[in-house]
A and B are shown apart, each in its own frame.
Chain A
Amino acid sequence: MKTNDIILQTVTKITVFIIILFSIHLFFAGHYYPGGGFVGGLMTSGAIVLLLLAFDMKTVANVLPIDYKHLIGIGLFFAIGTGLGGLIFDAPFLTHAFTDVNLPLLGETSLHTAVLFDTGVFLVVIGVTMTIIQTIGEDE
């Protein structure tokens, strides 16, 4: 019997974006409200897992042609790079800096190097969860 996942797939197509938006929200809100790179990363991978469940691995790989192992490296690079950035300005390792900038559209916004660090966390978490799930999923 051929199963038909039309409902699941359609719901997924809509839900994934909501989840991703939510995760991005969690990520960016992290410095002021509950959330941050860790939960944000987990949520994003949750969205991808949902895609994996609704579609098959090959389709998802086509849609998101990412080697998640590279994400781990890029994330770590972000985190350590942020730390090293402090050294350039003659400050100790991992000293963060922030400033308030008046951006067009967004208005008065605080820009913070800690966000770069959190981006590192975000990417590593996505990379790790997806690597684990994909590896185990592909395993016979």
Chain B
Amino acid sequence: DRTTGGPIVHIHNGILQVRSAPNYEDPPGLVEKTDFLIRDWISVYNSQPTGRDSTKAFSLFVHQMNCQGILKTDDLITRFFRLSTQLCVESVYRNMSDQNLTGNHLRVKCFNTLDAFVRLVALLVKHSGDSTNSTTKIHLLNKVLGIVAGCLLQDHEQRGTEFQQFPYHRIFIMLFLELNVPEPVLETINMHVLTAYCHTLHILRPSKAAGFCYAWLELVSHRVFMGRMLASTPQQKGWAMYAQLLIDLFKYLAPFLRNAELAKPVTMLYKGTLRVLLVLLHDFPEFLCDYHYGFCDVIPPNCIQMRNLILSAFPRNMRLPDPFTPNLKVDILQEIAFGPRVLNNFSSMITPITFKKDLDSYLKLRAPVTFLSELRSNLQVSNEPGMRYNIPLMNALVLYVGTQAIGFIRGKTLTPNMQTIAHSSHMDIFQNLAVDLDTEGRYLFLNSIANQLRYPNSHTHYFSCTLLYLFAEANTEAIQEQITRVLLERLIVNRPHPWGLLITFIELIKNPNYKFWNHEFVHCASEIEKLFESVARSCFVQKT
């Protein structure tokens, strides 16, 4: 596959080139030649205010490169890029250790070097090959991005905590802006530029280069990058790649967030992540809708607000009925007949294959009963408290059984409601999980269900009914208390709150069938009781 295999190969070649540099000497004189050429270019770039775009200075430079024999082979060209990247970065480090340079002066001095280098790369990419040949340009770009990424990783490794994210950040963002100016040559290769950048950013994800994480987030959330990836590329071609980058971010944050001990550096990155999610919720809600499943899979269960931001997204053409409307009848909303788009292949995540087979056979035959008693052991992966269960498997199982149930009920030309969802193999599984799992497992199970309570659609409706059914049919108060907890803890955080979540909770406390107010856990502590009362007050407000 040329579109996905191609760029990765060239980026990795670039990285490899840097990594193996100590093993093969550069030809004699190449370092000096590169040094001379790049210094010359930097001074030309900075001396003529009008010469910055000028093709004249550039063609003169290419002529010089030719004279020095640099353009002779592919190998020499990539060596030239590696050496010049390193020279520019070195000069930034030198400036940063210079006591006389501070604040703006330091920044400007470094920008003069880095911006000149970036312009050179952009011009070389634009003018390599003839104007109709985009392959050469894309190869060169991928190679250069790989080289810069390789230099970054090597620098990160060697300097450790002395590493500076700034020069690499500047190179990446300025080159991106250069390659996104409205010019016909660049517009034809734009999708390739985006792909190359996504691959490079994925290679440099925070778990691989933690010292680059803040600059990385700045790059991923830059308005031009986000706009190109999510808005201006037709057919949503950039969405999957962008989702991957967000997953990289969530995965990196997860171990720090799950302990809820947020040191300053973590808080900073977390706040940035929330801001990005807010922008996405406001400008690209459909994107969050489509990828909510994959995101929720990697966000730790205690990150309630972060998940609420994702689950609150709904398609912009939809009008949600106010959940506080008295006597709102969810059953008659037209939207609940349609399934949401889920772009993750969750059924393939049910592993091992034998378990999936047994599951399918149980859903069909409602036998053998042993399937239910073995369910728990299939989900449990260790005895370590807090890490007992395979959360992605739990999520996949819940959504898969739910979607199968909806299909099953529709197959009988019925619609899902409190009566039709009961007494089936699907509900057997859910009831069994509710009863048989320990507190930790049940918490994760109920969270998997609550992750489907979003805007009006068939999943939201089915899982809302399921949760209420599990509450009504629970054989112990512990289950009811945990259902209440999962719903309540998602509602006591600041807005936004997913629509389906509100609907379900309001139904629970309003509908006398659930005898919600008779339960002991509602009255166990005066703060809790007051909390319920205040939630109830806001729910029962009559609109006049």
- Binding between chains A and B: no
Which residues of chain B have a CB within 8 Å of any CB of chain A? Answer: none
Binding site for B on A (CB under 8 A): none
